[in-house]
Each structure stands twice: as C-alpha cells, then as structure tokens.
Amino acid sequence: MPVQLYDTHSRSLRPLEAETEQALRFYCCGPTVYGPAHIGNFRTFLLQDTLRRVLEVDGQPVHHVRNLTDVDDKTIKGAMQAGLTLQDFTRQWTEKFHADCTALNCLPPHDEPSAVEHIPQQIALIEQLIEQGHAYATDEGSVYFRVSSFENYGSLSRLKERELKPQSKNSAGQRNDADEYEREAVSDFVLWKQRKPEDGENFWKSPWGEGRPGWHLECSAMIESSFKGATLDLHGGGVDLCFPHHENEIAQSECAHGRPLCKHWFHSAHLMVDGAKMSKSLGNLYTLDDLRAKGFSPMALRYALIAGSYRQQLNFTIETLHAAQSALAKLERFATTLLDKAGQKTSDLKAYIQASDPKLTGRFASAWEALGNNLNTSAALGALFGVVGSNPAPSLNESEARDTLSAFGALLYALGLSLFTEQVAKANTPDDIQALAQERWEAKQSKDYARADSLRKTLLQKGWLIKDSVDSYQVEPNDGQT
C-alpha cells in the first residue's frame, strides 16, 4: 500500500503516488541563507528528509529538489552589513547549512537551485505573466501580480472564506511594499521590485528597469526549470508558507503554464521552544551549534525534532534532548545484542542501514505502518521501543538475528538515525568516564588484562558498564536493564 499523507489542498489523507516508473517529484522551499538555520527550520527540513526516506524504503524513488533563497531583504541587508558581496555572504551561510544538514544526517537534495542563478528565468516568467494580463508594471518600475485575474486564488489556504488582506508582510518577514499606492489592489503582490538605495549594488537589469525579483517568484521559476515543465507530485514547507508564499507560487505558475503546479501539499507545524514561539528577543532561538556547545549530539537533535507528529506543534525543551540521548543509547544497546547474536561487529551495523530489502513485516510491522500512515513518527517510535523493550535477541538464532537487523536497519534508514556515532556515545558519557573507558580498552588491546579488569571494576563502582564487541567497546550506565 502506498504511503498515505495528509494533503493541505484537499484537506484529506491521500496516497502519495508518482506516475508509473517515475521518481516522485518533490520540491521543498529551502533556507534563506543569511545566517545559521535555527532548529525550527531544521524540524521542517528533517521531516521532509524523513518522508523522502520512508518513500525510498517503500520502493518509491524520489527526485528531491530544495532551493536556496539567496536574494531577499535579509540576505541583502546581511551582505551590506558584513561588507561582502551578496554571493560571498550567501556562500558562507550555504556552506554552514550544508555542514549542519550533514551532521543531522539529512540527505542532500538531488538538485539545489538558487534564486540568484535563476534571474533570467524569473524575468521571462514575469514577461509571460504581463503578456497574459496576469501582471502589470508600475511607472516606478515594479511589477505586481494581478490577484483578481486568477479565479482560484486562495484555494490552498481557503482564503476566500476569509477576507483578502494586503500582503504587507510575508512569512520571510519581507515587506511587500504594501504602502505603494500604485498597486491596483491591496492584495496584489510584487513580482519585481524596483531598485532602492538600500539594495546597494544588488540589482539586475530588466525590461522594467533595475531591480530584483520578489521572493515568491523564485520558486515558480526554479520548479519549472528543475522539473522541466512537469506537475509536482509533492510540495513541502513549514505551515507559515501556506499563505501567502505557496498561494502565490500557485498563482504565478498556474497562470503562466496553464497546468496544476502540484498534486499534493505537505505542511509541517512549527517548533515552539519552552511553550513559546522561537525568537531572538525571547532568547529561545537555538541553532545546532548552540546545542552542541551544551554537549548534545546532532543525532539527539534529529531524534527530538522528528519524534512528534508533524501536524502538531512540537514543544522543544532541553529535557527533550536528554530523553532523545537516552533513547538513542537504548537503540544502541538493542543493536549490540542483535549484532552479538548475528556474530557481527558494531561497524557491521552500517551495512544494514539502507533503503533496500526492508523485510518490514513481522516484528517491526506496526512501526512501519505508522510511518506509512501520514508519517506518524511518534507512533512509529512508540512501536519501535515496544520491540526494543521486549528485546527478542536472546531467543534468536544467527540468521534470525540478521533478518531482524535488516528490518531494524531499514527503520533506522527511514528515520535517518545513525547509531554508534562518536558524538552520541560521547555526549552521553561524562569526560572522566570516557577517559577511564578508553584507558581500559587500550590496556585490553595491549593484553594488560589485570589493568583492564581493575579499570572495569572502577567504572562499575562509578555506575558504568563496559560492553566489548570485536572491534570496539560501549560504555553505558548500569541501570540494571542489561
């Protein structure tokens, strides 16, 4: 049965299907590269990554495209303040974003177009919209989309049930020049912004004079070039993007191309921190580096960010991260028992963490069903820990242990969880314990068994257990479960 996902447009749970033999066309609005992404942004990107992984394990290949917003008010302001060219400024934040994604085990998209690289395509799209009567230029050299020309405007966010409001501020915090009375209607939104002194040298020539594209336009242009004119199977973003950004993308693309922009819309709810909206002024805005500095591993952050159901706001606290670290430690212990039974080393686990050959029936069936049923990560983790808690390893023979490892590995792949990463082990273990454990391992390797044994006892007295496999060791709290 194909993966089912709630579709914002139809307000219903629908199967996610690509055309026969095709990769599923999945576009996500990407980061604005003007500073480090915060953990709220990563909640959205990690949920998108998890959905892609679930589809892959389910045998549905995905063509995943996520753009970079590298020209807007924030990037331009940041570049000017830093005294850098827009390109140099956004490059450094793009690199940081990529490094954070790698640490969080977020698969790179197959294509990552940038807005600045698509200026000619954006200009061509505006020209087309003007020609068709869907857009108009002002005397001052800006161009607006004529919302009244698109009958379906507002269908994604059910806007007609509310009042069409001036698009004075979009979810990127950009002003849409609402105070410009040249617009025909307050709801019209900007496609091309005339050059302003505060833009410095960041402008491009166009048939309407110097300026730069409006934010909404970039996605319509990049989707068209990345997917070569095909309708998207799936489009994702945080819930704040539903209106106006996605509504405007639909208007631009459908008016210009005369076909649906997308078949299925995937919006993830926001991350809150300590019960409040994340914001710099409240001092509750975290980046991955902030949490690393507090000793948490990127894997624990990934776990914490994907653990809640995507349609519900997730309240992030430091306690959530502690819980995530111990959940990962439990998964590691479970993996160790299975690997022992299968006669394999810790390093062999990697080979099991893959999208193919899932064998997800049997023991892990409920966890897998939960993922396929509207990406219910919270139920999936509950079901997974049900299996972990009743650890079947002792009753398995070698080949059964290997089969169980295959199914467990496919689930780990779908959730994007890596185990036995140095950071997880380290972040869970105090420095002095780590040092003693390492010393004991080295003593054992050099066959100084008396010393190794005495260090093991010291660690036990301090409440820590050592578990060796052929090529490595694990140190874990002696919580009586093992």
Q: Which residues sit at the interface with ligand AMP, rule CB under 6 A? A: 29, 31-32, 40-41, 43-44, 69, 172, 237-238, 240-241, 270-271, 278
Closest-CA residue to 186 (of 168, 211, 209, 200): 168
Q: Which residue is nearest to ligand AMP (CB)?
A: 238
Closest-CA residue to 266 (of 25, 23, 97, 21): 25
Nearer to ligand AMP, 135 or 223 (CB): 223
> Taking every pair of C-alpha atoms in the chain, what is the biggest distance, in angstroms?
87
Q: Is residue 360 part of the contact set for Zn ion (CB under 5 A)?
A: no
Closest distance of CB 27 from Zn ion, Å: 8
Q: Is the CB of residue 402 less than 8 Å from the CB of residue 410?
A: no
69 binds, among Zn ion, ligand AMP, none (CB under 5 to 8 A by kind): ligand AMP
Rounded Cα distance between 100 and 112, Å, is 16
**Residues ≥6 apart with Cβ < 8 Å to 100:** 36, 37, 42, 287, 288, 298
Closest distance of CB 246 from Zn ion, Å: 7
Stretch that binds Zn ion, among 22-30, 256-264, 399-407, 408-416 (CB under 5 A): 22-30
Name the strand (E) or helix (H) holding 467.
strand 464-468
Nearer to Zn ion, 29 or 384 (CB): 29
271 binds, among Zn ion, ligand AMP, none (CB under 5 to 8 A by kind): ligand AMP
Nearer to ligand AMP, 45 or 145 (CB): 45
Nearer to Zn ion, 252 or 418 (CB): 252
400 binds, among ligand AMP, Zn ion, none (CB under 5 to 8 A by kind): none
Q: Is residue 219 part of the contact set for Zn ion (CB under 5 A)?
A: yes
Residue 246: DSSP 8-state: I
Nearer to Zn ion, 177 or 249 (CB): 249
31 binds, among Zn ion, ligand AMP, none (CB under 5 to 8 A by kind): ligand AMP
Helix, strand, coil in percent for the chain, rounding step 5: 50, 15, 35
43 binds, among ligand AMP, Zn ion, none (CB under 5 to 8 A by kind): ligand AMP
Nearer to ligand AMP, 314 or 401 (CB): 314
Stretch that binds Zn ion, among 211-219, 267-275, 319-327, 387-395 (CB under 5 A): 211-219
Closest distance of CB 180 from ligand AMP, Å: 24
Stretch that binds Zn ion, among 163-171, 214-222, 301-309, 435-443 (CB under 5 A): 214-222
Q: What are phi and psi of 240, to 5 degrees?
A: -65, -20
Nearer to Zn ion, 107 or 172 (CB): 172
Region for residue 6 given its phi and psi (left: phi exceeds 0; alpha: psi -120 to 50; beta: otherwise): beta
Residue 44: DSSP 8-state: H
Q: Is residue 29 part of the contact set for Zn ion (CB under 5 A)?
A: yes
Region for residue 277 given its phi and psi (left: phi exceeds 0; alpha: psi -120 to 50; beta: otherwise): beta
Closest distance of CB 423 from ligand AMP, Å: 23
- Give me the numbers of helices (H) and strands (E) for the chain, helices first please: 16, 15
Closest distance of CB 34 from ligand AMP, Å: 8
Nearer to Zn ion, 72 or 177 (CB): 72
Nearer to ligand AMP, 270 or 359 (CB): 270
Q: Is the CB of residue 86 less than 8 Å from the CB of residue 189?
A: no
User: 86 vs 89, 206, 221, 344, CA distance in Å?
Assistant: 5, 19, 20, 51
219 binds, among Zn ion, ligand AMP, none (CB under 5 to 8 A by kind): Zn ion
Reported in sequence order, the residue ranges of 239-368 that DSSP labels E, i.e. its strands, are: 265-268, 271-273, 276-277, 314-316
Closest distance of CB 390 from ligand AMP, Å: 34
Q: Is residue 232 part of the contact set for Zn ion (CB under 5 A)?
A: no
Closest distance of CB 250 from Zn ion, Å: 11
Closest distance of CB 277 from ligand AMP, Å: 7
Closest distance of CB 201 from Zn ion, Å: 26
Rounded Cα distance between 104 and 301, Å, is 8
Reported in sequence order, the residue ranges of 130-208 that DSSP labels E, i.e. its strands, are: 135-137, 143-145, 189-194
Number of residues that bind Zn ion (CB under 5 A): 2
Nearer to Zn ion, 29 or 101 (CB): 29
Closest-CA residue to 331 (of 302, 359, 355, 308): 302
The neighbour count for residue 362, using CB atoms within 10 Å, is: 11
Residues that bind Zn ion (CB under 5 A): 29, 219
